[in-house]
């Protein structure tokens, strides 16, 4: 029976006229007539929708048609969209009618850059983040947290104790912890503390001992072993490749344990409205595992993996790993190169020096490149020649200059020009205006990181000065230049919260309440595009996701408030109510 009398798009007033009222006898007669008509062959909807959403703020993320009244979903795709009266025609006997009750629906968030697989690790590690993410305010707080973690996990002598997320700039001591801080509390266990940036770490003497790192060991290429003052003795602070080498010694979960953790990681992303996640630096072991999950169709969200440059020889040309091919929502999107380090860790590579002291450096401290020009050029060339989309981590302007050199050499070596490379410069934190012009010319995509304005804006002002710090992630300038860009959390570096990320792009407020680069603030609409359609474009998926248009995947997120109409400072308080992947709810508050 087609219940038009109680159809959400048709009121009694619309049936009888705005001034009509039901008298009791008329109502009875009307109802009897309705029952009699229902016994006859009533018209049926030939091709009904599975679900129709209405009565809310439905944001399409299409500039020419920003908001619509209703949207219909069928077979996991957007079936119809537009006015309620038109979309309502596809309401069949089994169509689920969803009243949004004034809430906001828009495309599911497309992750510009994060580390999906690392979620499987941090779930099991000691959280050493400072407020508002964690509770750590001092080095003694770190010791206490690790002691509690050791006790809770019953970690025996000889086993690793691992924590993540410490930030020296938020500690009362204003310095990195070192082995002297850790040794007395943990004499029998190797300890590894990952810096919030992921580019540095601190270890104790036991970890140095089992790793055979002493005063005779030189700095590795692309890394620094920080020494104690006036000595060659390692302090325990490791930068870049030195830190990564140490991390490789830490035991990891087995394949069975990881499968369970991947399920948790998907739920974590889904609860934050993310329907497409990125795994921002995937090693061979993890890639094999993610592919196995995809082949058994156990992904509930899409995952775009970036193969690590450290395994380039094993990935490129390997028939087991086809770049760009989608398997049940999993795709090896491209290859990622790490070109420099962290600006708050003072390892990002700049054309001009830092203004404050840099651990492990005595003069002209501009940070350093992870790769020199020749090996960088070889990697870039290999990607361009094999039609592999390239993602390059560049925080400092010096790293961007170096990448430009490698890019130009690689392009010159090609037998014919490539029309749509879509090379992505991850972070582009301290890009210069002249470098943005190169982005325009070469159609490069910066993936900006405006969360830095809040978490480390005050630190950047001190370390780099107002001119450089204020041009951090210059989204408004990029908008005015016609550059397509994304914005990201770099989770686990900052929290996986797309509404907080939107807030930072609209407000650019630091921890102390300063506005960092007010001219670079976006409108909420511009900020949302960076998290939806621009993310889809970055991953070459703009034809299937990122906007609400007929034929695209029904990847949706429902918010309790409208980011376009709430006060700018309230955007960070908006909650994800529901996440829908291809028409199916995968999270509901």
> What DSSP letter does each residue of 207-218 carry, written as one string?
HHHHTT--TTPP
Beta bridge partners of 584: 581
Residue 121's pLDDT band, with cuts at 50, 70 and 90, is confident
pLDDT at 2 over 70: no
Distance CA 457, CA 445 (A): 23
Mean pLDDT of 236-251: 89
Q: What is the pLDDT of residues 502-520, one digit of tens each?
A: 999 999 999 999 999 999 9
Angle at the Cα of 260 (from 255 to 262), degrees rounded to 5? 90
The band of 8, judged by pLDDT with boundaries at 50, 70 and 90, is very low
Whether 41 has a pLDDT exceeding 50, the answer reads no
Locate all alpha helices (DSSP H) within 202-348, ordered by sequence: 205-210, 241-247, 255-270, 284-295, 312-315
**15-32 confidence digits (pLDDT tens):** 323 333 333 444 444 344
DSSP state string for 19-84: T----HHHHHHHHHHHHHHHTS-----SS--SEEEEEEEEE---GGG-EEEEEEEETTEEEEEE-H
228: buried, middle or exposed (CB in 10 Å: 19+, 13-18, 0-12)? middle
pLDDT of 42 higher than 70: no
180-191: per-residue pLDDT in tens? 999 999 999 999
Mean per-residue pLDDT for 114-140? Answer: 91
Q: What is the mean pLDDT of residues 195-214?
A: 93
Least confident of 18-32, 228-242, 380-394, 407-421: 18-32
User: CA nearest 293: which of 319, 260, 267, 321?
Assistant: 260
Residue 417, pLDDT score = 84
CA angle 486, 489, 490 (to 5 degrees): 100
Res. 444: pLDDT tops 50: yes
CA torsion 137→139→144→145, rounded to 10°? Answer: 60
Residue range 4-108 forms a domain whose CATH class is: mainly beta
Cis upstream peptide for 132 (omega within 30°): yes
Average pLDDT rounded to a whole number, residues 160-169: 94
| pLDDT confidence of residue 251 | 84
Largest CA distance in the chain: 100
For residue 164, pLDDT over 90 is answered with yes
So what's the pLDDT on residue 151? 95
The pair of structure tokens assigned to 418 is 């490539």
Could you tell me what percent of the chain has a pLDDT over 90? 84
> Structure tokens of 585?
């709810």
pLDDT of residue 9: 36
Lowest mean pLDDT among 5-14, 139-148, 184-193, 315-324: 5-14
Residue 39: pLDDT band (50, 70, 90) is very low
pLDDT digits (tens, 9 = 90+) for 263-280: 999 999 999 999 999 999
pLDDT digits (tens, 9 = 90+) for 49-102: 999 999 999 999 999 999 999 999 999 999 999 999 999 999 999 999 999 999
Q: Which residue has the tokens 């999270």?
A: 587
Residue 37 has pLDDT above 70, yes or no: no
Domain 255-576 sits in CATH at: 3.20.20.140
State residue 438's pLDDT score. Answer: 98
Taking only the tens place, the pLDDT of each residue in 343-397 is 999 999 999 999 999 988 989 999 999 999 999 999 999 999 999 999 999 999 9
Which pLDDT does position 34 carry in this prediction? Answer: 36
CATH code at 125-247? 3.10.310.70
Fold matches, 4-108 and 125-247: no
CA-wise closest residue to 336 among 266, 289, 383, 397? 383
Nearest to 117 by CA among 333, 265, 312, 218: 265
* Domain edges within the chain: 4-108, 125-247, 255-576
Chain mean pLDDT for the chain: 91
Q: Are 54 and 99 in contact (CB under 8 A)?
A: yes
Q: Is the pLDDT of residue 259 over 90?
A: no
For residue 432, give Cα distances in angstroms to 50, 189, 339, 361, 470: 49, 45, 17, 25, 11
For 418, the 3-state DSSP assignment is coil
Axis-axis angle for helices 451-464, 498-507 (nearest 10): 50
The model's confidence at residue 10, banded by pLDDT at 50, 70 and 90, is very low
Q: Which two tokens stand for residue 535?
A: 């993310």
Nearest to 6 by CA among 99, 72, 68, 102: 99
């Amino acid at each position: 029976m087609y219940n038009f009398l109680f159809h959400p798009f048709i009121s009694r007033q619309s049936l009888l006229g705005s001034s009509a009222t039901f008298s009791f006898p008329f109502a009875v007669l009307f109802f009897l007539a309705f029952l009699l008509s229902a016994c006859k062959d009533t018209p049926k909807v030939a091709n009904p929708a599975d679900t129709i959403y209405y009565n809310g703020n439905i944001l399409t993320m299409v500039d020419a048609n920003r908001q619509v009244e209703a949207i219909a979903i069928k077979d996991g795709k957007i079936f119809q969209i537009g006015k309620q009266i038109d979309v309502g025609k596809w309401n069949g006997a089994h169509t689920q009618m969803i009243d949004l009750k004034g809430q906001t629906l828009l495309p599911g968030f497309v992750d510009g850059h994060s580390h999906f697989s690392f979620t499987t690790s941090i779930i099991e590690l000691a959280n050493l983040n400072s407020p508002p993410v964690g509770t750590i305010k001092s080095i003694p707080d770190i010791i206490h947290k690790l002691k509690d973690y050791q006790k809770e996990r019953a970690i025996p002598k000889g086993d690793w104790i691992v924590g993540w997320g410490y930030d020296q700039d938020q500690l009362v001591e204003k310095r990195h912890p070192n082995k002297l801080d850790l040794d007395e509390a943990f004499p029998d266990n190797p300890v590894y503390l990952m810096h919030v940036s992921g580019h540095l770490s601190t270890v104790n003497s036991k970890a140095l001992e089992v790793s055979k790192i002493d005063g005779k060991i030189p700095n590795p290429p692309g890394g620094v072993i920080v020494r104690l003052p006036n000595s060659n003795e390692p302090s325990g602070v490791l930068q870049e490749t030195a830190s990564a080498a140490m991390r490789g010694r830490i035991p990891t979960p087995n394949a069975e344990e990881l499968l369970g953790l991947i399920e948790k990681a998907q739920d974590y992303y889904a609860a934050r409205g993310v329907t497409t996640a990125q795994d921002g630096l995937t090693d061979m072991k993890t890639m094999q595992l993610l592919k196995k999950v995809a082949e058994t169709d156990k992904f509930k969200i899409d995952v775009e993996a970036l193969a690590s440059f450290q395994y380039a020889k094993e990935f490129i040309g390997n028939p087991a790993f086809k770049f760009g091919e989608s398997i049940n929502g999993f795709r090896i999107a491209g290859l990622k190169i790490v070109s420099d380090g962290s600006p708050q860790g003072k390892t990002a590579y700049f054309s001009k020096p830092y203004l404050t002291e840099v651990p492990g450096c005595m003069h002209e401290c501009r940070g350093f490149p992870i790769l020199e020009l020749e090996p960088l050029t070889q990697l870039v060339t290999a990607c361009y020649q094999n039609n592999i989309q390239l993602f390059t981590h560049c925080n400092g302007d010096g790293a961007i200059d170096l990448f430009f050199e490698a890019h130009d050499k690689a392009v010159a070596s090609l037998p014919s020009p490539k029309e749509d490379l879509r090379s992505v410069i991850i972070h582009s934190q301290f890009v210069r205006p002249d470098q943005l012009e190169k982005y325009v010319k070469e159609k490069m995509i910066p993936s900006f990181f405006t969360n830095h304005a809040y978490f480390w804006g005050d630190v950047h002002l001190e370390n780099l000065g107002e001119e450089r710090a204020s041009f951090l992630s210059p989204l408004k300038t990029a908008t005015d230049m016609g550059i397509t860009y994304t914005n990201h959390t770099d989770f686990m570096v900052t929290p996986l919260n797309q509404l907080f990320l939107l807030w930072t792009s609209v407000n650019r407020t630091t921890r102390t309440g300063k506005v960092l680069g007010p001219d670079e603030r976006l409108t909420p609409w511009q900020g949302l595009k960076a998290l939806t359609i621009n993310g889809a474009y970055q991953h070459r998926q703009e034809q299937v996701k990122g906007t609400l248009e007929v034929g695209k995947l029904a990847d949706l997120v429902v918010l309790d408030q409208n980011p376009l109409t709430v006060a700018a400072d309230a955007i960070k308080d908006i909650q994800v109510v529901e996440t829908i992947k291809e028409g199916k709810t995968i999270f509901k508050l």
